[in-house]
Amino acid sequence: MLAEAARKLPAGHWLAIGTALAIASPARAEPFLPALDPPSSLIDSASPDQGSGATPTPSGGPFALPSAADSGFTRLDAPDFPYSAIAPPPGLPGRSWNITPSLGVQFLATDNLDQSRRNKRADFVTSIIPGLLLSVDTSRIRGIINYAPNIQFHTAEGESNRVDQRLNGQVLVTVVPDAVFLDIRGASATQAASGGFASQGNVVVGRDNRVQTNSVQISPYFVHRFGGLGTLQIGYAFQAVSQDIGGNGFGSDTGNGAFTPGGQRFFADQDFTAHEFYAVGRTGENFGRLAFESRLASTSYDGTGVLDGAYRRIASLQARYAITRSVIALVEGGYEQQRYAGVPGIDISEPVWAVGGRVNFSPESWVTAKYGRRDGFNSATVDAVVGLGVRTQLFANYAERLTTGAQRAIDLLSTTTLDEFGNPVDAATGAPTAQPFSDSLLGVQSSLFRIRRGAISISQLWPRDRITLTLSREERRPVSVEVGTTAFSQRGTSASLTWSHELTPSMVAIGNVQYGRFTSPGTGRGDVFSASATLAAQLRPGLSAFAQYALTTRSDDFDSGRALQNVVLVGLRQTF
């Protein structure tokens, strides 16, 4: 069986598979709050407001860690490890530290490095990919860190040599049992600045079309339980994000940024630090069918562009009532203040509200939906995971929000956990997710946007096969523009199909096709089709190999005809 065979293979084998499929959902504009230990009441078992995940992303190449959904691995028993529980039970002895270093080498040949129609440049790229997978599960520390930088050497285009930082990490430290904790999270990834490329897969572009995003969040917090009455959590979060382009942009750029072929600047390097103070209180099981949750959060930004002097502040109270064990109603009210620099300046100071509910079909199958006002507009939010029989599972998400690209990087850290291989997992649905700052279908912009995104994915698992179909749609409308740049509305629709088949217990074949339509500041309107075939095998314990062929064809408004790119990848990885 595919899943059973996957469990028998060492992690090094799956490091060679680069077609991980990410189910998408937008990071919600909620304050950062490490999850409280859910009370044992009927109400909180519904937990309809635990975050909504992130947008889809390329896998980062055949040496990227695959998501649990694609590899056949199952995630950890705790649905949002390690943050569903505040700490292990007192007195539990330390269990394990696992350190798995690895070293990979990848050889890539392409006939069109930049996927250009008129200026085709062939290149041969050698990548050295050291890796470190650290997992810890003790009485005091729980977490996982996956670090795998990609060091690239170009034969023909030496100026494109670079190091792409790739990191996912989350660690929870128990300072004082059942009272004081330290939550540390970080992530790094890259994406094509211009947009117009396949949203998933190993996007091959030159250095001057690559944006590196790094984010980190450190939060000490205090928790106190008042028996069955409730729980109080108070904390502080330090946040930092940087987004840097790897070269001199596209047209006539004379500084760090990205330009349209006509010379309009749509992205400038971004960075910010933020200080967030927050508090959350929840009622406990003594309240029976009725539950309340209050939240206070204030975040101040010190950053560039629209985040210069910006802030988010919100106070809200949510009430939930269990009509039956399967149907829960909720209502929420509060007040928010938001400020952003840019043109025009944005100042929001008004009430917020929401009504909705949740339907539980089973412990693993449910739908949560809300409609209300947040971020200065009315919108809906939907999170769902539904079992369609024994072998088929459906994930769905929809939300709208007001945010910047840099803020989305931090919001991702607050709405996801990591599986045992360091891959992001949606804290609400348990679906594999990945960084919104590594999706290359739409371009990277540094202004403030209202973002609307929906996605649906259906996955079917057979003894030796897994088939996954994903559909997604994202729209971005500029609200406030960074001085010195131009902002563009964007939209993208994409579909992908992935089929993995176990040939032998130590060999897997994976096929992937994608199609997307987009509007992007760097490329205008267009469409992109990509297909890849990958063969990955375990040669001996700890040593894996892969071979992949990928084809991409795309068109846009700025040039006639279609660009065609062929890519051949081979590689080895040794785990120690």
What is the Cα–Cα distance from 198 to 208, expressed in whole angstroms?
18
Q: Which residues contact 171 (CB under 8 A, 6 or more apart)?
A: 136, 141, 142, 143, 144, 145, 183, 184, 185
Between 274 and 258, the more confident residue is 274
In terms of CATH architecture, what is 2-575? Beta Barrel (2.40)
| Mean pLDDT estimate for the chain | 79
pLDDT at 311: 97
Token digits for 112?
A: 């069109």
DSSP string, 176-227: ETTTEEEEEEEEEEEEESS--S-SSS-----GGGEEEEEEEEEEEEEEEE-T
pLDDT at 118: 79
Q: Tell me: cis bond preceding 82? Omega within 30 of 0 counts.
A: yes
pLDDT at 412: 83
Q: Within a 13 Å sphere around the CA of 148, how many CA atoms are in the beta-carbon half?
A: 30
Query: What are the pLDDT digits (tens) for 472-513?
Result: 999 999 999 999 888 999 999 999 999 999 999 899 999 999
pLDDT at 557: 80
Query: What are the pLDDT digits (tens) for 377-400?
Result: 999 999 999 999 889 999 999 999
* Residues above pLDDT 90, as percent of the chain: 53
Which sequence spans correspond to the domains of the chain? Answer: 2-575
Q: What pLDDT band is residue 308 in, cutting at 50, 70 and 90?
A: very high
Query: What are the pLDDT digits (tens) for 359-369?
Result: 999 988 999 99
Q: What pLDDT band is residue 117 in, cutting at 50, 70 and 90?
A: confident
pLDDT at 263: 76
The set of long-range contacts for 562-565, using a CB threshold of 8 Å and a minimum separation of 24, is: 562/117, 563/112, 563/115, 563/116, 563/117, 564/112, 565/110, 565/111, 565/112, 565/115, 565/204
Query: What are the pLDDT digits (tens) for 541-550?
Result: 889 999 999 9
Residues comprising the chain, all counted:
576
Token digits for 157?
A: 């285009």
* Segments of 304-421 assigned E as strands: 308-322, 327-340, 346-362, 365-374, 377-387, 392-403, 416-418
Q: Which residues contact 512 (CB under 8 A, 6 or more apart)?
A: 19, 21, 200, 201, 496, 497, 498, 499, 530, 531, 532, 534
Query: What are the pLDDT digits (tens) for 166-219?
Result: 899 999 999 999 999 999 999 998 888 888 887 765 667 777 788 899 999 999
pLDDT at 162: 87
Q: What pLDDT band is residue 466 in, cutting at 50, 70 and 90?
A: very high
Between 82 and 517, the more confident residue is 517
Query: What are the pLDDT digits (tens) for 435-451?
Result: 667 788 888 899 999 99
